[in-house]
Amino acid sequence: MTQESLILNGKKVANDLKHCLKHKITQISEKAGKKPKLAVILVGDNNASKVYIAHKEKAAQELGISSITHCLPADTDQKDLNNLIKTLNEDETINGILLQLPLPANLSPDIAILQINPLKDVDGLHPFNLGLIMTGKPNLIPCTPFGIMRLLQAYNFNPKGLKTTVIGRSRLVGKPIAELLTNASATVTIMHSKSRLNDLIDTVKQSDLVIAAIGQPNFVKAEWIKDGAILIDVGINRLDDGKLVGDIDFENCLKEGKAKAITPVPGGVGPLTVAHLMLNTVKAFEIQCFGYSSIEL
Ligand SMILES: NC(=O)c1ccc[n+]([C@@H]2O[C@H](COP(=O)([O-])OP(=O)(O)OC[C@H]3O[C@@H](n4cnc5c(N)ncnc54)[C@H](OP(=O)(O)O)[C@@H]3O)[C@@H](O)[C@H]2O)c1
């Protein structure tokens, strides 16, 4: 069967969400008598991290969220990083703490994330927040998986019963999206770098929904795709010619036209990640001010 694949417009879904959030933030800020405030921690000089932080600061500013970025030198030790997090935990004017990853090699992200007050953990990466996903009652959800769930919802793709392959098992994307989809009654298989390639291909060939989050350009081939599958590409890879591509071979998948829907890179999952960081910040703010959140998931 050849058909036209629908290109999922993550940018539009993110903009719609930000529009709603802006309205909500005005209301909540009026009620609280103050604005939500996000603290971002950047350690070292990673250029990609600086670009991501600039996007986050811009989105915060557009929505009426104050933000402050703490830039620490690359040779910061664990104790100093932990102390900064502790100070931000205790600072009542700060509602969300975002530790920009990756950290320089001498620092442990696990130890640092553990220091963050789970109620201010707007990246949703503290074991407490990840654990809540396991219970089926999440609070602050990691931003990229959260964005993927919203994208599916926005296009009326119900994961219930869908045979699903998640490629990648990181704490940031693969594991939480697999868990969220399981909670939404999808039948999920997780694949990773130690999976046998033949097993991976066989599983993808049978999947109604494929989430690729590995960081390998054009890894998922058009000929692996089942008729009518939904393809969500999380990967961001820069080729030698400067072009950005995902983990799924977008161009050939479009040409083959077997997929029902596919996300582009850029303009797919990426904008949703930033929008959900804003959502988590507002949610954390509301909970800290009033003990509950009116934000529906
Ligand atoms: N769009 C966004 O907003 C957004 C947000 C976050 C990340 N990303 C992008 O998404 C990609 C993944 O990010 P991440 O943080 O999850 O990366 P990560 O922590 O490096 O994890 C990559 C995962 O992919 C698996 N993997 C690597 N090569 C593989 C292969 N050939 N076959 C099967 N599995 C393979 C790894 O397996 P092992 O566990 O066995 O090593 C690992 O589980 C990156 O391109 C990143 O830039 C995008």
Give the domain CATH number at 178.
Answer: 3.40.50.720
Question: How many structural domains compose the chain?
Answer: 2
Q: Is the CB of 99 under 6 A from ligand 1?
A: no
- What is the residue-wise DSSP string for 192-235? -TTS-HHHHHHHHHT-SEEEE-S--TT-B-GGGPPTT-EEEE--
Domain boundary among the residues 120, 150, 179 is at 120
Query: Quick one: 164 and 221 in the same domain?
Result: yes
pLDDT tens, residue by residue, 105-138: 999 999 999 999 999 999 999 999 999 999 999 9
Please check whether residues 103 and 157 belong to one and the same domain: no
Q: Whose CA is nearest to atom 44 of ligand 1?
A: 215
| 246 and 214 part of one domain | yes
Q: Can you give the pLDDT at residue 297? A: 52
Least confident of 86-90, 157-161, 285-289, 290-294: 290-294
- Distance from the CA of 235 to the center of ligand 1, in angstroms? 7
100 counts as catalytic? yes
Residue 56: active-site member = yes
* Residues with Cβ within 8 Å of residue 19, at least 6 apart in sequence: none
Cα gap 195→37, rounded to integer Å? 42
- 257 and 152 together in one domain: yes
Residue 266 has a pLDDT of 96
Active-site entry in 18, 24, 37, 56: 56
Instruction: Note whether 72 and 109 are same-domain residues.
Output: yes
Q: How many CB atoms lie within 10 A of CB 155?
A: 14
Give the per-residue pLDDT at 294: 87
Mean pLDDT of 135-157: 98
Region 217-224 average pLDDT: 98
> pLDDT band at residue 263, thresholds of 50, 70 and 90?
very high
Q: Find the catalytic residue in 24, 37, 100, 208.
A: 100
Could you tell me if 95 and 249 are in contact, meaning their C-beta atoms sit under 8 angstroms apart? no
Q: Using CA positions, which residue lies closest to atom 10 of ligand 1?
A: 235
| Distance from residue 247's CA to the centre of ligand 1 (Å) | 9
Kindly state whether residues 41 and 94 are assigned to the same domain: yes
pLDDT, mean of residues 271-278? 97
**Does a structural domain hold residue 256?**
yes
Same domain, 76 and 114: yes
pLDDT at position 250: 98
Structural domain including 67 reads: 32-120
Give the model confidence (pLDDT) of 16-42 as tens digits.
Answer: 999 999 999 999 999 999 999 999 999
Is the confidence at residue 55, as pLDDT, over 70?
yes
- What is the distance between the terminal CA atoms of the chain, rounded to a whole angstrom? 36
